[in-house]
Chains A and B, each alone.
Chain A
Amino acid sequence: MPSSASDAAAPDLAVVGAGPAGLAAAVTAAGLGLRVVLLDAGERPGGQYYRHPAPGLGADRPEALHHGWAAFASREAGLRAHVEAGRITYLPGHHVWTVVPGGGGVWTLHAVAGPEEEAATLHARAVLLATGSYERQLPFPGWTLPGVVGAGGAQAMLKGGLVLPGERVVVAGSGPLLLAVAGSLAAAGARVPAVVEAAGYSGYAGHVPALLRNPGKLAEAATYGSALLHRHVRLLTRHAVTEAHGTGRVEAVTVARLDRDWRPVPGTARRIPCDAVAVGHGLVPQLELATGLGCATRSSADGTAALVLDAEQRTSVPGIWSAGETGGIGGAQLALLEGEIAAHAIAAHAAAGRAGGPAPAALVRRRARLRAFAEAMGAAHRPGDGWTGWLRDDTDVCRCEEVPAGRIREAVADLGARDARTVKLLTRCGMGWCQGRMCGPAVAALAGESAAASPGGAPDRRPLSCPVPLRHLAELPPADG
């Protein structure tokens, strides 16, 4: 089928997501002469990591809530300059829900835009998916009580809205994000009685070379660590919040010591009074658009599924690139680098004779170093199998459909379910609003799935990455391949 007039005018690159990876990619690609459209679900660039107050909140020092703000500020200035010069079309408030091949080597992106959920359709010759991640949650009794919030959620509400969930906030779960969250909550005036980390930092011991090659990361950890010491925050490693107590809202948590497999050790439980709990067990790459396109995935060291990417940040689908957390959780610095590397590769691919060539060697070396660090970190904080030991049969695992652990165990033990998908069909868990984003990893673990058993990483598949009004689906033209 011949390409239409709109296809001929299609920009060189559509970047989905304006977090560290997408923002860096869009600015770099525009600097190399590409015409870029940057779509983002958020209202302001920066993604979750660089989330910051709206201008109306009049914050003089937004950088006080951030690490590495200068890296964002320079890209944001670059974005504004490129938008003004007409090299980048920046579309905030656009949630891309599917990407499909159009005619003539042009991709079609469908989005819902703005609060009225208008349909928006865009075309581009190449697509860079920089869709980031969301938090991994492992349920525990009481985790649906008001006052129990995501650790990243507490951070997002603080960075974006300048609010705290309570005055006395226990931070719990696993992963380096907890230290950052505890640090910013304490800096913003909350009391943090404890940071409860399920892993032991001895998990890093097997990865000394990766640690030594990343002095910047070690310094970052030391900064968080000393800030917490300064604020009298206790760090309990190999411990978990195994229950939240309260009626209308959280009033206290039970914290217990864990064995090496994350099983609570009997007799070690103690109670810590608090009025909020910020909890999370690392991050999960957000892959809907990529898996919808058929991009291959792999299992990461942290147990999540991530995209298979080559040295140029290409996915297994020609014309689709990706950068940042979608390729495995690695943090903002790595995401910035990968976005820039992808932009160089896409520019080189777009047209011979234009600016752009192989990514600078220094970027490629830094990427390798940070990826190695990310793998070491992911392995150290990967949930142990024993965490399910703190679930009671009446603990809701699926928050949306209110499916308790007992019904999932019944589906597995009595009805023969061997994977999350079968459990879902038998119990409705994962069929609610969030489409399994909150309960997915927990249900997979309860079903006995492990990343080792599913070499592809078995990511959840969601044909639509966000709710789409039915009228938009009804109005779609037939796929023309």
Chain B
Amino acid sequence: MSRTPRTLVGGAPTATYVLRFDGRELTAQAGQSIAAVLWGAGILAWRTTREGGAPRGAFCGIGSCYDCLVTVNGRPNQRACLVPARPGDRVTTQEGTGHAELGV
């Protein structure tokens, strides 16, 4: 069996649960951030920039760079690398400022 982060540290998550990313079901392990759940599913981009519409995801991994901003349960501009994933979360790709519905 090939090595994985899990085989390195051993054990098993106390719970797994489902969250939705743009309608797609992803499996989260208890204790993971939203960014970790997305990386775990092979997803590296979950927002587009305001000016160029370029795809972005987690970069600094510690809350400093704000590149991983995402909309969680309708609330935009959450740092995916800091926000713990919760059962049933609805995560959606954030376009631009995340406030498109305000027309600003």
A interface list, Cβ under 8 A from B: 41, 43, 48, 53-62, 64-65, 115, 134-135, 144, 146-150, 152-158, 160-166, 187-189, 248-249, 276, 399-402, 432-434, 437-438
Residues of B within 8 A of A60 (CB): 9-11
B36→A58 contact, CB < 8 A: no
A-contact 0/1 string along B57-84, CB 8 Å cutoff? 1111111111101000000000001011
Query: Within the complex, which residue of A149, A154, A189 is in contact with B7, where a contact is CB–CB below 8 Å?
Result: A189
B45→A59 contact, CB < 8 A: no
A160–B13 CA distance with the chains assembled, in angstroms:
13
Which residues between 1 and 59 of chain B lie within 8 Å of chain A, taking CB atoms?
2-15, 29-33, 35-37, 39-40, 44-45, 49-52, 54-59
Residues of A within 8 A of B30 (CB): 54, 56-58
Q: Which residue of B lies closest to A438 (CB)?
A: B65
A395–B37 CA distance with the chains assembled, in angstroms:
30
A2–B17 CA distance with the chains assembled, in angstroms:
54
Query: Within the complex, which residue of A135, A163, A434 is in contact with B36, where a contact is CB–CB below 8 Å?
Result: A163
- B interface, over-half SS: loop
Query: Within the complex, which residue of B14, B35, B44, B67 is in contact with A56, where a contact is CB–CB below 8 Å?
Result: B14
Query: Within the complex, which residue of A162, A189, A248 is in contact with B45, where a contact is CB–CB below 8 Å?
Result: A248
B39→A58 contact, CB < 8 A: no
B67→A402 contact, CB < 8 A: no
Distance in Å: Cβ of A73 to nearest Cβ of chain B: 15
**Residue picked from B2, B32, B50, B51, most chain A C-beta under 10 Å:** B32
Given contacts A165-B39, A189-B7, contact A150 B56 (CB under 8 A): no
A157–B10 CA distance with the chains assembled, in angstroms:
17
A189→B3 contact, CB < 8 A: yes
Distance in Å: Cβ of B89 to nearest Cβ of chain A: 12
A-B contact pairs, 15 of them (CB 8 A): A57-B14, A146-B44, A146-B45, A146-B56, A149-B61, A150-B60, A152-B61, A152-B62, A153-B61, A157-B39, A157-B81, A160-B61, A162-B29, A164-B39, A402-B50
A401–B67 CA distance with the chains assembled, in angstroms:
11
Given contacts A57-B32, A402-B51, contact A162 B6 (CB under 8 A): yes
B39→A161 contact, CB < 8 A: yes
B35→A161 contact, CB < 8 A: yes
Residues of B within 8 A of A41 (CB): 63
Distance in Å: Cβ of B96 to nearest Cβ of chain A: 12
Given contacts A188-B4, A189-B3, A248-B55, contact A59 B62 (CB under 8 A): no
Q: Which residue of B lies closest to A249 (CB)?
A: B44
Distance in Å: Cβ of A388 to nearest Cβ of chain B: 21
Residues of B within 8 A of A160 (CB): 33, 36, 61
A162→B5 contact, CB < 8 A: yes
- A interface, over-half SS: loop
B13→A56 contact, CB < 8 A: yes
Given contacts A65-B9, A163-B5, A187-B3, contact A434 B62 (CB under 8 A): no
B59→A59 contact, CB < 8 A: no
Q: Which residue of B lies closest to A54 (CB)?
A: B31
Residues of A within 8 A of B45 (CB): 146, 248-249
Given contacts A399-B67, A402-B51, A432-B66, contact A57 B61 (CB under 8 A): no
Residues of A within 8 A of B52 (CB): 402
Q: Which residue of B lies closest to A47 (CB)?
A: B62
**Residue picked from A149, A152, A248, most chain B C-beta under 10 Å:** A149
A54–B84 CA distance with the chains assembled, in angstroms:
10
Q: Which residue of B lies closest to A57 (CB)?
A: B31
Residues of B within 8 A of A249 (CB): 44-45
B5→A153 contact, CB < 8 A: no
Query: Within the complex, which residue of A43, A54, A400 is in contact with B66, where a contact is CB–CB below 8 Å?
Result: A400
Residues of A within 8 A of B61 (CB): 149-150, 152-157, 160
A132–B94 CA distance with the chains assembled, in angstroms:
30
A399–B33 CA distance with the chains assembled, in angstroms:
22
Residues of A within 8 A of B49 (CB): 402
B8→A156 contact, CB < 8 A: no
Q: Which residue of A lies closest to B52 (CB)?
A: A402
